């Protein structure tokens, strides 16, 4: 009687996939989604990135968004650029990373070239200065609203060591004005240790 064939091992997954049951965006959807974030994100894209990814498209939960953004903030480079590459890779591999990255960077580059040409010609008009001041105020309001929504996603769970680390980090860097690199050098290993301990 012949021996049964050995099971063929499944190929390794190059990047952690999205949770089961979650809609996995295609490269085209990633490009259009991050292009919308870039075009609508006056004064910064953090507010619109959370709105599009979490609220409109449902690609991530609020907790997942906070965790991935926190990781991107400690990596070199712009936060949202790191976020687009990482999320695109999780969703569709290399093609997803490139689609999200070009969607995020392509439209603003074109718009800023056109805006620079117009500003050079009409930048001294007082009406234009008033418009720019209004856009800055609106961007500040969006950032504050997004920060409150992210805090709500954190505090709805029980108090954990991560909340204490967040408060200590804010106090050290935001209130005491300690050097950010020194604060991160101390806080990051402590945060990793707490996360490892809680998931044991």
The pLDDT of residue 139 is above 70: no
The stretch 101-130 carries a mean pLDDT of: 81
Q: Which long-range contacts (CB under 8 A, 24 or more apart) does 134-139 make?
A: 135/42, 135/43, 136/43, 138/42, 138/43, 139/42, 139/43, 139/44, 139/47
Give the range with max mean pLDDT: 10-19, 107-116, 129-138. Answer: 107-116
The C-alpha atoms of residue 99 and residue 96 are separated, in whole angstroms, by 5
Provide the CA 73 distance to its chain's centre, in angstroms. Answer: 8
How would you label 152-184 residue by residue, b for 16+ Cβ within 10 Å and e otherwise?
ebeeeeeeeebeebbeebeebbeeeeeeeeebb
Indicate the pLDDT class of residue 22, thresholds 50, 70 and 90.
Answer: confident
pLDDT band at 181 (very low <50, low <70, confident <90, very high): confident
The pTM (predicted TM-score) of the whole model is: 0.64
């Amino acid at each position: 009687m012949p021996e049964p064939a050995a099971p063929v091992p499944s190929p390794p997954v190059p990047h952690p996939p999205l949770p089961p049951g979650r809609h996995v965006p295609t490269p085209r959807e990633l490009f259009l989604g991050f292009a919308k974030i870039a075009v609508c994100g006056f004064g910064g894209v953090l507010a619109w990135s959370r709105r599009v990814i979490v609220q409109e498209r449902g690609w991530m939960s609020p907790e997942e968004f906070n965790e991935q953004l926190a990781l991107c903030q400690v990596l070199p480079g712009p936060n949202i650029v790191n976020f687009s590459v990482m999320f695109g890779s999780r969703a569709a591999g290399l093609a997803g990373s490139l689609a999200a990255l070009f969607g995020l960077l392509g439209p603003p580059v074109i718009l800023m070239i056109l805006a620079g040409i117009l500003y050079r010609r009409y930048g001294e008009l007082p009406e234009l200065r008033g418009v720019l001041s209004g856009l800055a105020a609106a961007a500040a309001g969006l950032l504050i609203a997004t920060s409150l929504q992210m805090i709500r996603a954190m505090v709805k769970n029980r108090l954990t060591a991560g909340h204490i680390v967040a408060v200590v980090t804010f106090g050290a860097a935001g209130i005491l004005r300690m050097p950010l690199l020194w604060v991160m050098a101390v806080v990051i290993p402590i945060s990793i240790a707490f996360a490892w301990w809680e998931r044991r």
